[in-house]
Amino acid sequence: MASAFDYAPAPESRSVVDIAPSYGLFIDGEFTEAADGRVFKTVSPSTEEVLSEVARAGAEDVDRAVKAARKAFEKWSALPGSERAKYLFRIARIIQERSRELAVLETLDNGKPIRETRDADLPLVAAHFFYYAGWADKLDHAGYGANPRPLGVAGQIIPWNFPLLMLAWKIAPALATGNTVVLKPAETTPLSALFFADICRQAGLPRGVVNILPGYGDAGSALVEHPDVNKVAFTGSTAVGKAIARQIAGTDKRATLELGGKGANIVFDDAPIDQAVEGIVTGIFFNQGQVCCAGSRLLVQESVHDEVLHALKRRLSTLRLGDPLDKNTDIGAINSAEQLARISALVETGEAEGAERWSAPCELPSTGYWFAPTLFTGVTQAHTVARDEIFGPVLSVLTFRTPDEAVAKANNSQYGLSAGIWTEKGSRILAVANRLRAGVVWANTFNKFDPTSPFGGYKESGYGREGGRHGLEAYLDV
């Protein structure tokens, strides 16, 4: 199958992005070294090439950045909303102007296909800033009473799966509502956040309003712990989310937590199979499955199991895995060696526990971190691969007979972030959607995002919403 169509390579040129050999922390409008001089390397996961050396923030740097953000808060929060709006509109426009450069950069640092950074990440990043820019002078009309006040300094910690998009989800609403921010990007993907610092400079954003601290978990923990941080916004694993919730217990700090998931994608026997298969593929293989809202559990009605699996395997065999910069690539690299090891270990567990593994027949490049699209059949609810978030291109297939059984199995999870429903019957969509305990339900589609659409989980997938009018609440003292 893989050779049915031979495509000529069509790589996006990486000359559109100029990566410096080293970067500092961005504090109070300036790039600066870490107080203890520590640095770390960021590599391209598809080639293991070192892209740059980046200053590594420690507790002292966190303190400096929070102080800068606190100092900037007074003026920033006092600005008329219409002025804050214009800064954000500027940022949105500059992102649009530089989107090709940023897409290539993101693909290099993250390993995801250029098709995704170009067509999904970057347009959504610009749209998010554009959306929240418009809120900045309309907060009186947002339903939170007259003149709602910002919280102060927001400490924001983002993951590596959508580095710039997660930055946008955090920074845009925070600034629109008059907060200032200290943001820590993930240690494997610091570059787009540092390029964003340059965008803030181009936009003329007052110093200290946005501070960027590349670093590891210790910097994130120091940020959460800092007594002058008023708000913690975290996207990442459920384990770290719980640790943060414990850390801020007994304080006045507010928190929004966007954590893990084990989304059920439910396919009924009357679903249009070809469309459903595309949705299943989008659900779990978008961004190599490194998506918190991935549809990682396929619940397929028993009567169409064989048909769906046949079509799905056929489709997976046509996915192109390889150079993320190639415009024809469907599946890019796994973000890091660590993540690859985690995925591999969970897949081994799946096999050891007796689920049947099938992987798409594709050749893996010899350097970089790669994992072939994989699915497990014969999975029961007790299997590890049906319960734990794998955060990789691995789909667990379970079956059901009745809608009740589908709902029960879908809800049988500690998580409650996303779910999918595939059926032609409208009343069934509504009935099932009503009963699913998940924050986002995609019916006859999957993995769609929009700045106007609130996103966030039930249960141990976290709390608070990002996006839409709802997303403002997370940054207002209401």
Among 201, 207, 242, 357, binds another protein (CB under 8 A): 242
Residue 203 token pair: 């936009």
Nearest residue (CB) to another protein, 249 versus 352:
249
Q: Is residue 448 a contact residue for another protein (CB under 8 A)?
A: yes
Q: Is residue 5 a contact residue for another protein (CB under 8 A)?
A: no
Among 343, 470, 472, 475, binds another protein (CB under 8 A): 470
Q: Is residue 292 a contact residue for another protein (CB under 8 A)?
A: no
Q: Is residue 241 a contact residue for another protein (CB under 8 A)?
A: yes
Among 185, 339, 462, 476, binds another protein (CB under 8 A): 462
Q: How many of the chain's residues bind another protein (CB under 8 A)?
A: 40
Taking the complex as a whole, how short is the minimal distance between the CB of residue 365 and another protein, in angstroms?
Answer: 34
Nearest residue (CB) to another protein, 312 versus 441:
441
Q: Is 123 helix (H, G, I), strand (E, B) or coil?
A: helix
Based on C-alpha coordinates, what's the Rg of the chain? Answer: 22
Q: What positions carry a catalytic annotation?
A: 258, 292
DSSP 243-271: HHHHHTTTSS-EEEEE-----EEEE-TTS
Instruction: Give the burial class of 425: count Cβ atoms within 10 A of its Cβ; 0-12 exposed, 13-18 middle, 19 or more buried.
Output: middle
Residues 6+ apart with CB under 8 A from 39: 22, 53, 54, 55, 56
Of 381, 376, 380, 342, nearest to 356 by C-alpha is 376
Among 82, 202, 402, 452, binds another protein (CB under 8 A): 452
Are 205 and 87 in contact, with CB atoms under 8 Å apart?
yes
Piece in contact with another protein (CB under 8 A), picked from 48-56, 215-223, 317-325, 455-463: 455-463
Q: Is residue 273 a contact residue for another protein (CB under 8 A)?
A: no
Taking the complex as a whole, how short is the minimal distance between the CB of residue 443 and another protein, in angstroms?
Answer: 4
Taking the complex as a whole, how short is the minimal distance between the CB of residue 458 and another protein, in angstroms?
Answer: 5
Of 384, 62, 112, 379, nearest to 225 by C-alpha is 62
Residue the block writes with tokens 């490049």? 365
Q: Is residue 268 a contact residue for another protein (CB under 8 A)?
A: no
Binding to another protein (CB under 8 A) within 104-143 occurs at 127, 143
Q: Is residue 475 a contact residue for another protein (CB under 8 A)?
A: no
- Give the separation between CA 58 and CA 412, rounded to whole angstroms: 40
- Exposure of 199 in the CB half-sphere (CA atoms within 13 A): 29
Q: Is residue 443 a contact residue for another protein (CB under 8 A)?
A: yes
191-202 helix and 163-176 helix, angle to the nearest 10 degrees? 40
Residue 349 token pair: 């567990």
CA distances from residue 384 to 48, 90, 222, 232 in whole angstroms, order as listed: 30, 47, 33, 31
Nearest residue (CB) to another protein, 95 versus 193:
95
Among 238, 329, 377, 399, binds another protein (CB under 8 A): 238
Residue 360 token pair: 């798409």
Taking the complex as a whole, how short is the minimal distance between the CB of residue 126 and another protein, in angstroms?
Answer: 11
Piece in contact with another protein (CB under 8 A), picked from 79-87, 175-183, 237-245, 295-303: 237-245
Q: Is residue 463 a contact residue for another protein (CB under 8 A)?
A: yes
Site of interaction with another protein (CB under 8 A): 127, 143, 238, 241-243, 245-246, 249-250, 257, 259, 414, 429, 433, 436, 438-445, 448, 450, 452-456, 458-460, 462-463, 465, 468, 470, 478
